[in-house]
């Protein structure tokens, strides 16, 4: 038995498989990404806590002699085990290695892949059908987010898909839609662009806000950030129903039909989620980067085709 193998046995460390599973679950809880393992990293202790490791198990070090330089290198056994488990997950293509993730996000992190994401859902007994609503990142989704955020704003933007779309939802289109959602809500700092509402669930860190299409999907609206808007459930619904429009200067316009509504309608106690924007100068909340503001072509289409003047 190898020296490392013997140490693992002597200190009754968890098995590699157990650590792999704990890593997948922890990645999921941390929105799909964790930093490289280093001493003092919270994540190292967090997973150690899950296994209720004692002090010796957490601190014992492996000593290896670097013959070339004739010096002894000390690595905590627990870090070594974590690293080996993560590396093995990377070989199974369930996570991306920090050396590949850094090329995508500029951060040295382990990141779940789509397959790793599915495996984490399975381990946590979360139905796969919920995947559409979860905001946990994956390597493939982040690739799309990067592309959506970094594509230069076109002079002549067309918010519609030209080609005849295949009605069937493929794995690829499902990932594209998740990329769209992630990019849009991230751009708006997870807030409703109208009311500023920001809230996530404690269980799975999913956000209350949704990525709304300005030109709807049903009208062949594109899944890209220039045709997207981060909205809370209420304002998403009301925007789609034509109660609101967005002016070219990004102020919110409220339908005059609101005047014929019964005073009970659209109220939650004192909060009136439509009439609150009746003040003409109410400007919507926008992303930091101008290049990803909603496109005039999309918002003017919505004004002319969906809004009840
Ligand atoms: Zn809202």
Rounded to the nearest angstrom, the distance between the alpha carbon of 158 and the centre of ligand 1 is 27
What is the SS3 assignment for 160? Answer: strand
Would you say the pTM of this structure is higher than 0.75?
Answer: yes
Rounded to the nearest angstrom, the distance between the alpha carbon of 57 and the centre of ligand 1 is 49
Q: What would the pLDDT profile of 142-184 be if each residue is shown by its tens digit? A: 999 999 999 889 888 999 987 665 556 677 888 888 899 999 9
Q: What would the pLDDT profile of 41-68 be if each residue is shown by its tens digit? A: 788 999 999 999 999 999 999 988 887 7
Best-predicted range by mean pLDDT (65-74, 249-258, 275-284): 249-258
Residue 32 zone, left/alpha/beta (φ > 0; ψ -120 to 50; rest): left
Average pLDDT of the chain?
90
Half-sphere exposure (Cβ direction) of 44: Cα atoms closer than 13 Å: 18
Rounded Cα–Cα distance for residues 139 and 90 (Å):
12
Rounded to the nearest angstrom, the distance between the alpha carbon of 92 and the centre of ligand 1 is 41
The residues whose Cβ lies within 5 A of ligand 1, an ion, are: 192, 194-195, 197, 232, 235
Rounded to the nearest angstrom, the distance between the alpha carbon of 220 and the centre of ligand 1 is 24
Rounded to the nearest angstrom, the distance between the alpha carbon of 271 and the centre of ligand 1 is 12
Rounded to the nearest angstrom, the distance between the alpha carbon of 239 and the centre of ligand 1 is 10
Domain extent listing, the chain? 3-125, 172-305
Rounded to the nearest angstrom, the distance between the alpha carbon of 36 and the centre of ligand 1 is 37
Going by C-alpha positions, the residue among 23, 3, 9, 2 that lies closest to residue 57 is: 9
Specify the pairing of strand 71-76 against strand 61-66. Answer: antiparallel
pLDDT value at 280 more than 90: no
CB atoms within 10 A of CB 259: 9
pLDDT value at 3 more than 80: yes
Rounded to the nearest angstrom, the distance between the alpha carbon of 130 and the centre of ligand 1 is 23
Provide the pLDDT for residue 131: 79
Rounded Cα–Cα distance for residues 108 and 252 (Å):
41
pLDDT value at 107 more than 80: yes
């Amino acid at each position: 038995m190898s020296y490392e193998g013997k140490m693992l046995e002597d200190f009754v460390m968890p098995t590699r498989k157990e650590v792999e599973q704990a890593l997948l679950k922890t990645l999921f809880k941390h929105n799909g990404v964790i930093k490289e393992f280093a001493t003092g990293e919270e994540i190292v202790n967090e997973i150690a806590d899950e296994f209720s490791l004692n002090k010796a198990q957490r601190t014992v070090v492996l000593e290896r002699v670097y013959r070339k330089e004739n010096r002894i290198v000390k690595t905590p056994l627990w870090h070594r085990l974590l690293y080996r488990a993560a590396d093995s997950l990377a070989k199974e293509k369930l996570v991306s290695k920090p050396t590949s993730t850094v090329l995508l996000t500029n951060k040295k992190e382990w990141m779940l892949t789509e397959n790793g994401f599915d495996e984490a859902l399975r381990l946590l007994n979360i139905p796969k059908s919920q995947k559409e609503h979860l905001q946990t990142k994956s390597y493939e989704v982040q690739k799309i987010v990067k592309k959506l955020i970094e594509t230069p704003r076109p002079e002549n933007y067309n918010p519609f898909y030209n080609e005849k779309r295949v009605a069937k939802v493929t794995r690829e289109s499902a990932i594209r839609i998740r990329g769209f959602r992630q990019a849009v809500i991230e751009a708006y700092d997870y807030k409703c662009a109208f009311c500023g509402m920001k809230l996530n669930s404690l269980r799975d860190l999913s956000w209350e806000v949704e990525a709304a299409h300005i030109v709807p999907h049903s009208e062949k609206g594109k899944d890209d950030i220039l045709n997207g808007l981060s909205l809370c459930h209420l304002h998403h619904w009301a925007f789609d129903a034509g109660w609101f429009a967005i002016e070219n200067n990004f102020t919110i316009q409220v339908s005059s039909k609101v005047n014929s509504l019964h005073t009970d309608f659209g109220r939650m106690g004192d909060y009136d989620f439509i009439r609150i924007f009746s003040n003409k100068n109410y400007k919507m909340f926008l992303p930091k980067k101008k290049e990803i503001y909603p496109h005039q072509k999309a918002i003017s289409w919505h004004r002319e085709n969906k809004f009840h003047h």
